[in-house]
A and B are shown apart, each in its own frame.
Chain A
């Protein structure tokens, strides 16, 4: 996962997740506050610049991470462009909506782009365990946080199991035709379900052996200059929001 790699290796890895969360949140607020597509694009540019030149994410990796989402945005934007008139005597399909409608579509797409840049800023600079500890501080229910912690810790184990099974199945022509693929994948998922049960039983026993009393708690990573960074993030984030509000 490219995002994971960047989250652990960027320049702002040690900056407090609260600071990065606040800046990202301000980016999203600014995206929604932007009145024109141009302003939303400016917000997107600021958030992208913060990720690339601030946190030192390589441009190529940034584009590779954003590419699927950008393709999805393009498809969504194009579907908004098509206009259907069901009430007309002949079914009216037009591809060229009126100008105010075009402006509205441009605003939606640019807002989406700015929000995506704000989301990528947070995810490319902050590892998931840091985000979970941030959510813990936001007083999310313990059960939900436990689900997240367990999910994060086992998803790589299960991904590895899937990868190995698919390699073994492919080596035996397990994905040669549609019918064989379906049978192989059924076996793979069935096997995975059994693993889910067995691994969760093993985890439960391991936790009991360590006197587990329920909730899963882990030590948090220490972060540098937390209050200074939070102040800086809040100040620069507010500036982005103010810019989005002031510009037409």
Chain B
């Protein structure tokens, strides 16, 4: 769900970069604070960036039979916090552009905004909301991961629609068009990713309860309830 290199007009490319900059700056500030309190967080977040990169290269089984790649925004936001995901996402998107020619440098700002800002913040908000509503852990994680994926793709569609409004129907028609084109792949992907994220936490609770406890992210009891 990346916008391709050079696809956005120059004003939009700069605009989205300016919009993403404060989030990345705040993310760096929060990472620096975390490192000052716990120096081992420096290594953890670096390895987390590599984890997110390899995760996005995995071929995930999709409900429609086709293969898609997970975005890892929901999982990353729950594990490492939404603020840290903006700089981590920036590094991952930059690496995807440089190592895989996927995405681009001129569209980095727009891609950061949809995938490293909207996705993780939405995932955290939905996860907290679901927990406040006393929904079970599995349903909370499923909703957080799949809705974060959907919101990411809705944001990308809006970015493209803003850049290329339809000559006849304007922004709304263009948004409907891009959303419909992406829906074919993104809705099955969101469901698969939601299921996968739940299975990941179940696997952790079952096979690595000690490590899950040491990570101090969620408790085994939370997962099992």
Residues of B at under 8 Å CB distance from A? Answer: 4-7, 10, 28, 31-32, 35, 39-40, 42-51, 53-55, 57-58, 60-61, 63, 75, 79, 87-88, 90-92, 94-95, 97-102, 104-106, 164, 166-169, 172-174, 176-178, 181, 192, 195-196, 198-204, 207-208, 211, 214-215
Question: Is B61 a contact of A182 with CB atoms below 8 Å?
Answer: yes
Asked whether, in the complex, the Cβ of A84 is within 8 Å of the Cβ of B4, the reply is no
List chain A residues, Cβ under 8 A from B51: 158, 192-193, 196
State the Cβ distance, B199 to closest chain A Cβ, in Å. 3
Of A82, A188, A189, most buried by chain B (CB within 10 Å of CB) is A189
Taking a contact as CB atoms closer than 8 A, the residue among B94, B100, B204 that contacts A1 in the complex is B100
Q: A31-B6, A94-B168 are in contact. List 16 more A-B contacts (CB 8 A).
A: A69-B4, A69-B101, A76-B4, A83-B166, A84-B169, A84-B174, A87-B168, A112-B6, A116-B6, A123-B98, A150-B50, A151-B49, A182-B195, A186-B203, A189-B55, A191-B208
Given A28-B106, A146-B46, A190-B207, answer yes or no on A111-B101 (Cβ-Cβ < 8 Å): no
Residues of chain A whose beta carbon lies under 8 Å from any beta carbon of chain B:
1, 3-4, 28, 31-32, 65-66, 68-69, 72-73, 75-76, 79-80, 82-88, 92, 94, 97-98, 101, 108, 111-116, 119-120, 122-123, 128, 131, 141, 143-144, 146-155, 157-159, 162, 175, 178, 181-183, 185-194, 196-201, 203-204, 207, 214
Take A92-B168, A115-B5, A151-B50 as given contacts and tell me if A190 and B203 are in contact as well, using a CB distance cutoff of 8 Å.
yes
A73 touches B4 (CB 8 A): yes
Which residues of chain B are near A188, meaning CB under 8 Å?
58
28 interchain pairs, CB-CB under 8 A: A3-B99, A72-B4, A83-B166, A85-B168, A98-B167, A112-B4, A112-B7, A116-B5, A120-B101, A122-B98, A123-B99, A143-B31, A147-B46, A147-B49, A147-B91, A148-B94, A151-B47, A157-B50, A158-B54, A182-B199, A183-B203, A186-B196, A190-B199, A190-B204, A191-B207, A196-B51, A197-B214, A199-B47
B40 touching A69 by the CB < 8 A rule? no
Contact indicator B177/A84 (Cβ below 8 Å):
yes
**Would B106 and A144 count as touching, CB distance under 8 A?**
no
Q: Which residues of A contact B98 (CB under 8 A)?
A: 3, 122-123, 128, 131
Q: Which of A79, A120, A157, A186 has a CB less than 8 Å from the CB of B199?
A: A186
Q: Would you call B63 and A178 a contact (CB within 8 A)?
A: yes
CA distance A187 to B204 in the complex (A): 8
Complex Cα distance A197/B95, Å?
22
Q: How far is the CB of A6 from chain B (nearest CB, A)?
A: 11
User: In whole Å, how far is A183's beta carbon from the nearest beta carbon of chain B?
Assistant: 6
B40 A159 Cβ-Cβ under 8 A: no
Q: What is the bound-complex CA distance between A25 and B8, given in angstroms? A: 16
Give the residue of A98, A115, A155 whose beta carbon is less than 8 angstroms from that of B6.
A115
Residues on A with C-beta less than 8 A from B43 are 150, 200-201, 203-204, 207
Q: Which of B55, B58, B100 contacts A3 (CB 8 A)?
A: B100
Interface hub of B50, B204, B208 (most chain A Cβ within 10 A): B50
**Given A131-B98, A144-B28, are A159 and B54 also a contact pair (CB < 8 Å)?**
yes
Given contacts A84-B173, A85-B169, contact A119 B58 (CB under 8 A): no
Contact B42 A214 (CB under 8 A): yes
Contacts of A197 in B (CB 8 A): 44, 211, 214-215
Q: Are A101 and B95 in contact (CB under 8 A)?
A: no
Q: Which 9 interchain pairs have the tightest Cβ spacing?
A: A150-B46, A115-B6, A186-B199, A190-B203, A151-B49, A181-B61, A85-B168, A84-B173, A112-B6
